[in-house]
Amino acid sequence: MLKYQAIASDIQQSIEDGSLKPNDKLPTVVELCDIYNVSKITIKRSFDLLIEKGLIASKRGSGTYVKNTGELAEARGSDLYISGIDESASDSFTFTRSDRARGFTAEHRGLGQEISSVVYDFSIVPAPEDIARHLNIQPDDFVYHHCRTRCLDGLPIVIEYTYMPLDLVPGLKKSQLYQSVYAYLRDVLGYKISSFHRIIRAVAATEEEAERLEVAAGSPLLELEQVGFLDDGTPFEYSVSRNVGDRSELRDINVV
């Protein structure tokens, strides 16, 4: 194991065993150079590796902090927690890149299929307590809530239920839901989407979902529950999407 990997592993272990807690500030690069007797380049490579794994985030002018990545997994007990952290029975950590991280529109653009949306709800509501916890905001802070299906050539592929902090995503309009919300975040607001911490499970379609997805009630759906993070570690989205199993696939690349 190379030196920067060993340092990253040491810091990761401190996060896993609770010595470093969510939102804790890490020592500075200079301080870590003294602790490990290495160069700044080595420490920065260690930070890059931990950032890639979704464990820490650098805030410009403030420092580097431990991400609050554990709540989603703790809330769901034994479910598989992936895309950022994969908390398996062996307690190993896996960084997962997914096509879905680019968004539905970017994922399917260029495949010759017509991309469209059906919007069922777009509203501004006080954040429910569990949503506020995932988004690191106060209960009753206002959030956007929207529900829509995404379609290819008119065929529903996935239904999405999404919450985004109002203060973080100013100016979002209902019209944007018929296009790409992630493109609005990147191109209009200038945000850089960094990672997603995700739980995947199989669920049965409710009667309402079955009607909207044009499947039979009780049909198997692939559910993705996720929290999305910007590059400074700020959570920007809590969402649940339910995909029609025989109309879509999830592609992931695991980097251990």
Longest distance between any two alpha carbons in the chain, whole Å = 62
234: pLDDT strictly greater than 50: yes
Asked whether residue 128 falls in the same domain as residue 249, the answer is yes
Residue found under tokens 């990761």: 12
Residue 75 is assigned to a structural domain of this protein: no
Q: How confident is the model over 71-83, as a mean pLDDT?
A: 43
Distance in angstroms (rounded) separating the CA atoms of residues 195 and 212? 29
Residue 36 φ/ψ, nearest 5 degrees: -100, -5
Q: 231 burial class (0-12, 13-18, 19+ CB within 10 angstroms)?
A: middle
- List the domain range (segments joined by +) for residue 7: 3-67
Summarize pLDDT for 27-71 with one digit per residue, the tens: 999 999 999 999 999 999 999 888 877 788 877 777 888 887 555
Name the pLDDT band for 105 (thresholds 50, 70, 90): low
Q: What is the pLDDT of residue 250?
A: 62
**Domain contains 89:** no
Phi, psi (5° rounding) for residue 217? -55, 135
pLDDT for res 158: 94
- The CA distance from 241 to 177, in Å, is 15
The predicted structure's pLDDT at residue 67? 83
Written as six digits, the tokens of 114 are 């017509």
User: In this structure, is residue 87 part of a structural domain?
Assistant: no
Report whether pLDDT(225) > 60: yes
Q: Higher model confidence: residue 13 or residue 108?
A: 13
Q: Residue 76: inside a domain, yes or no?
A: no
> What CATH number did the domain enclosing 13 receive?
1.10.10.10
CB 93 within 8 A of CB 85: yes
pLDDT the model gives residue 88: 34
Alpha carbon distance 104, 106 (integer Å):
6
CATH number of the domain encompassing residue 202: 3.40.1410.10
Number of domains in the chain: 2
Residue 83 lies in a domain: no
- Do 202 and 135 reside in the same domain of the chain? yes
For residue 143, what pLDDT is reported?
A: 97
Per the DSSP assignment, residues forming a β-bridge with 160 are: 148, 241
Work out the percent of the chain whose per-residue pLDDT is above 90: 52
- Beta-ladder partners of 59: 63
